[in-house]
C-alpha cells in the first residue's frame, strides 16, 4: 500500500482534471442507469398501453405529493407515478415518441460524459507518466559515475521506458476501471433490487467466489510481473551492447554467440510472460462463468415467479435481466483490474527503488561559486576506493600553479584516470582533500567547478547531431565566428568545410561517420570554444595514427597555452615539455619531476621511456648476401 499511496502523490498535481473525470464518471453511470430504466415504459407502451380512463387516473394520481416516505416501496411508487404522468399519460404513439426522444437525449449525454472521462483520465495518466520519466531522468544525472559502472545500461533504460509504461496501466485501472465500473455496478444493483429483491439476493451469490478468486491469484501476478520486467531489462541490455558494439561483434565473428544469448533472454521473457497470462487470464472467464450460472438460476426462478406465482411483472423482470447482465461487463473488468494494478505496482517498486538511490555527496551546504583559478590546485593526502573496496589511490599529494602542465604516466591500472576523475568530482576522495585556491572541492558548487574545466578523453563522445551542435555543446550561445576560430585552432576547420553540408553535416551515432582523428579534433574544438582555465586530457592521442596524432597534438598545444593542464599520456614523447611529471604505480606517486630530472635517475619513468624509445627505433636492415 505504501507504493500505491506514493504513486498517488504524483497524481495530486493533476487533481483538477481528475476531479472533472470523476464527475463525468458519475454522470456516465447515472445516464447508463437511466437508459436501463427506459425498458419498463417502452414495454408498457408496446405491449400494455393504458386506456383513456387509465391515463386520466394516472394523471390524477401523479399529482399527489409524496409525504415523508418511510419505506422503499413508497419511494418506488411515487417515482413510477411521476414517470407515468410524463410518459404514459398520452396516446400510445405520443408516448412512444416521447420515449424515443428521451432515449436519444439520454444516450447522447451518456456518451458525451463517457468521452469526457476517457479524455481526462488519459490526460492525467500521460502527465503522470511524463512527470515520472522526467524525475527519473533528472535523478540519474545526480548519481555518481560509480553507480553507472555497477548497472547495466539496458536495465536503466528499461526503468524509464517499460516500467513507467506499466505504471500507466495502474493509474488507468484505479481511476478509470475501478471508479467507473464500480459506479456502473452500483447503478445496475440499484435496478436489480428495484425490480426484485428476492432475485437480487440470488444473483449476489457470484460476488464472494469472485473476490476469493481474485485475492488468491494476486500474489502470483505481482511476482511474475516483476520477473517479466527483469527479463525485459536483460533483453534491452543485450540490444544496447550489441548494437553499440556491432563492429566488434562482426570483427570477431560472434554473431551466433550474441544471437544465442539474445534467444536465451527472449525465451526467459516468453516463459514468464506466458505464465503471467496463464494465471491472469483465469480471473475473467471464471468470474464470467460464475455470473452465467447465477444468470441461469435467475432466469429459472424469475420465470417461475411470472408464470406460476404471478408476483413479478414482465417489464420488471426484463429490467432485472438487463441490469443483471449489464453487471457482467463491470464485474469482468474489475476482475482484470487486479492484474493491471499488481503489474503496475511491481514496476513502481523498481522505479521508486531507483529514485530512492541516494546521490553521492558532491558538495556541502553553503558551497560557493568559483569563477577562476588564481593560486593553485592541490591534492592533500588523497586516498580513494571504489565502493569500499581496495584503495586504488593512496596518499596522493602535489600542487599545480595556474598555467602549469602536469603529466601523469604509469603502467595500466596505476590509477591515472581515477586521479584526474577526482578533479571534476566525478568521484569524491575516500580521505584527504582536493583544494582549488585553498578551498576544499566539497565547499565549491559542482556545476561551478565543472564550468572551469574542459575534458578531452581517448573515447571521444559525440552525438548524432550536426558538427556545429557537437562543437557548441555546452556553449550554445557561441557565435559562428567563435565556433570557426575554435575549429581552426583545433585543426578541424578544413575537413569540416569539405563535408557535404559543412558545419551542418550530421555525423551519426557517436560520430561514426568521422575518423578517430577527426572526432578528437572536434572534441578539442569543443574544449577551445568553452575556453576553460583548467584542461584534462586522458590519453587523447593514444589511439590515433601518426598523421592524426600530429594534427591533434598541435591542437592540444594551442589549447594548453596559458591554461592549467592535466595530461595522461601513453606516449612519453608528447609530455617532454611538461612542468611536472607524476609517475604512478599501484595507486601511488613513485616519482615526480621534469622530463630531464626523471631521465637522470633510475626508476620506472626511465624504464618506460627506454622501452618506448627502443620499440620506436627503425629496425636496421639486414645486408643482402652477395
The string of pLDDT tens digits covering residues 481-535 is: 888 888 888 788 888 888 888 888 888 777 778 887 788 888 888 888 888 888 8
The answer to whether 332 and 213 have CB atoms below 8 angstroms apart is no
Distance CA 390, CA 385 (A): 6
Q: What is the pLDDT of residues 3-26, one digit of tens each?
A: 888 888 888 888 898 889 989 989
**CATH label of the domain that carries residue 428:** 3.40.50.300
Residue 521: inside a domain: yes
Residue whose cell numbers read 590519453:
539
Residue 119: inside a domain: yes
Task: At 443, list the grid cell.
Answer: 565547499
- Across all residues in the chain, what is the average pLDDT? 77
Same domain, residue pair 228 and 97:
yes
Same domain, residue pair 133 and 258:
yes
pLDDT of residue 462: 82
Same domain, residue pair 338 and 450:
no
Same domain, residue pair 391 and 351:
no
Residue 74: inside a domain: no
Residue 172: inside a domain: yes
Same domain, residue pair 320 and 407:
no
Residue 75: inside a domain: no
Q: Which domain holds residue 524?
A: 377-616
Same domain, residue pair 514 and 469:
yes
Q: What is the pLDDT of residues 133-170, one digit of tens each?
A: 888 888 888 887 777 777 777 778 888 888 888 888 78
Q: What is the dihedral of CA 427, 431, 435, 438, to 10 degrees?
A: 160
Position 98 pLDDT exceeds 80: no
| CA-based nearest residue to 133, from 97, 159, 100, 151 | 159
Distance CA 460, CA 235 (A): 27
Same domain, residue pair 396 and 312:
no
| CA-based nearest residue to 330, from 98, 36, 58, 624 | 36
Same domain, residue pair 520 and 601:
yes
Distance CA 273, CA 231 (A): 10
The answer to whether 462 and 456 have CB atoms below 8 angstroms apart is no
Q: Is 424 helix (H, G, I), strand (E, B) or coil?
A: coil
Residue 442: inside a domain: yes
Residue 64: inside a domain: no
Q: What is the pLDDT of residues 537-562, one digit of tens each?
A: 887 665 555 656 677 677 777 777 77
Strands (E), 342-452: 377-385, 391-400, 405-409, 431-436, 439-440
Distance CA 498, CA 508 (A): 17
DSSP at 621: P
The answer to whether 169 and 311 have CB atoms below 8 angstroms apart is no
Q: What is the pLDDT of residues 319-362, one digit of tens each?
A: 777 777 777 777 767 766 777 787 788 888 888 888 888 777 67
| Count of domains for the chain | 2
pLDDT of residue 620: 40
Residue 365: inside a domain: no
Same domain, residue pair 343 and 382:
no
Residues 6+ apart with CB under 8 A from 104: none
Amino acid at each position: 500500500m505504501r507504493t500505491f499511496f506514493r504513486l498517488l502523490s504524483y497524481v495530486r498535481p493533476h487533481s483538477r482534471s481528475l476531479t472533472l473525470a470523476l464527475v463525468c464518471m458519475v454522470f456516465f453511470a447515472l445516464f447508463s442507469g437511466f437508459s436501463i430504466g427506459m425498458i419498463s415504459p417502452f414495454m408498457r407502451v408496446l405491449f400494455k398501453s393504458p386506456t383513456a380512463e387509465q391515463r386520466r387516473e394516472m394523471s390524477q394520481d401523479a399529482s399527489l405529493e409524496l409525504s415523508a416516505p418511510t419505506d422503499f416501496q413508497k419511494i418506488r411508487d411515487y417515482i413510477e407515478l411521476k414517470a407515468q404522468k410524463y410518459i404514459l399519460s398520452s396516446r400510445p404513439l405520443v408516448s412512444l415518441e416521447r420515449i424515443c426522444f428521451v432515449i436519444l437525449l439520454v444516450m447522447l449525454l451518456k456518451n458525451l460524459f463517457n468521452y469526457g472521462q476517457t479524455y481526462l483520465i488519459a490526460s492525467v495518466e500521460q502527465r503522470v507518466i511524463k512527470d515520472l520519466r522526467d524525475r527519473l531522468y533528472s535523478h540519474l544525472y545526480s548519481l555518481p559515475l560509480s553507480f553507472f559502472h555497477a548497472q547495466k545500461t539496458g536495465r536503466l533504460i528499461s526503468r524509464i521506458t517499460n516500467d513507467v509504461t506499466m505504471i500507466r496501466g495502474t493509474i488507468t485501472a484505479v481511476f478509470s476501471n475501478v471508479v467507473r465500473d464500480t459506479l456502473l455496478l452500483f447503478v445496475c444493483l440499484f435496478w436489480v433490487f428495484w425490480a426484485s429483491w428476492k432475485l437480487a439476493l440470488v444473483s449476489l451469490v457470484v460476488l464472494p467466489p469472485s473476490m476469493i478468486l481474485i485475492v488468491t491469484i494476486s500474489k502470483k501476478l505481482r511476482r511474475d510481473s516483476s520477473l517479466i520486467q527483469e527479463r525485459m531489462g536483460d533483453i534491452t541490455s543485450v540490444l544496447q551492447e550489441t548494437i553499440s558494439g556491432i563492429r566488434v561483434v562482426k570483427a570477431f565473428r560472434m554473431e551466433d554467440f550474441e544471437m544465442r544469448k539474445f534467444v536465451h533472454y527472449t525465451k526467459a521473457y516468453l516463459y514468464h510472460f506466458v505464465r503471467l497470462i496463464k494465471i491472469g487470464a483465469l480471473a475473467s472467464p471464471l468470474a464470467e462463468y460464475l455470473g452465467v450460472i447465477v444468470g441461469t438460476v435467475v432466469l429459472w426462478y424469475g420465470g417461475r415467479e411470472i408464470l406460476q406465482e404471478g408476483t413479478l411483472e414482465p417489464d420488471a423482470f426484463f429490467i432485472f435481466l438487463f441490469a443483471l447482465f449489464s453487471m457482467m461487463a463491470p464485474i469482468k473488468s474489475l476482475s482484470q483490474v487486479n492484474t493491471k494494478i499488481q503489474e503496475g505496482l511491481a514496476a513502481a517498486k523498481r522505479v521508486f527503488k531507483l529514485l530512492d538511490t541516494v546521490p553521492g555527496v558532491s558538495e556541502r551546504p553553503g558551497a560557493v561559486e568559483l569563477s577562476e583559478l588564481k593560486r593553485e590546485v592541490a591534492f592533500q593526502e588523497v586516498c580513494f576506493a571504489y565502493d569500499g573496496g581496495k584503495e586504488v589511490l593512496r596518499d596522493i599529494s602535489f600542487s599545480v600553479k595556474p598555467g602549469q602542465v602536469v603529466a601523469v604516466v604509469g603502467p595500466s591500472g596505476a590509477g591515472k584516470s581515477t586521479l584526474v576523475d577526482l578533479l571534476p568530482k566525478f568521484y569524491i576522495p575516500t580521505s584527504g582533500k582536493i583544494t582549488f585556491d585553498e578551498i576544499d572541492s566539497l565547499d565549491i558548487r559542482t556545476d561551478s567547478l565543472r564550468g572551469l574545466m574542459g575534458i578531452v578523453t581517448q573515447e571521444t563522445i559525440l552525438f548524432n547531431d550536426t558538427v556545429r551542435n557537437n562543437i557548441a555543446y555546452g556553449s550554445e550561445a557561441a557565435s559562428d565566428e567563435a565556433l570557426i576560430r575554435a575549429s581552426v585552432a583545433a585543426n578541424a576547420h578544413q575537413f569540416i568545410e569539405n563535408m557535404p553540408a559543412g558545419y551542418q553535416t550530421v555525423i551519426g551515432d557517436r560520430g561514426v561517420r568521422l575518423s578517430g582523428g577527426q572526432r578528437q579534433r572536434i572534441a578539442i574544438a569543443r574544449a577551445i570554444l568553452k575556453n576553460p582555465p583548467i584542461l584534462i586530457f586522458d590519453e587523447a592521442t593514444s589511439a590515433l595514427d601518426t598523421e592524426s596524432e600530429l594534427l591533434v597534438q598541435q591542437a592540444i598545444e594551442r589549447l594548453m597555452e596559458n591554461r592549467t593542464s592535466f595530461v595522461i599520456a601513453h606516449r612519453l614523447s608528447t609530455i617532454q615539455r611538461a612542468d611536472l611529471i607524476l609517475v604512478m604505480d599501484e595507486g601511488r606517486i613513485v616519482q615526480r619531476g621534469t622530463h630531464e630530472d626523471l631521465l637522470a635517475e633510475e626508476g620506472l619513468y626511465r624504464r618506460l621511456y627506454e622501452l618506448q624509445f627502443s620499440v620506436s627505433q627503425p629496425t636496421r636492415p639486414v645486408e643482402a648476401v652477395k
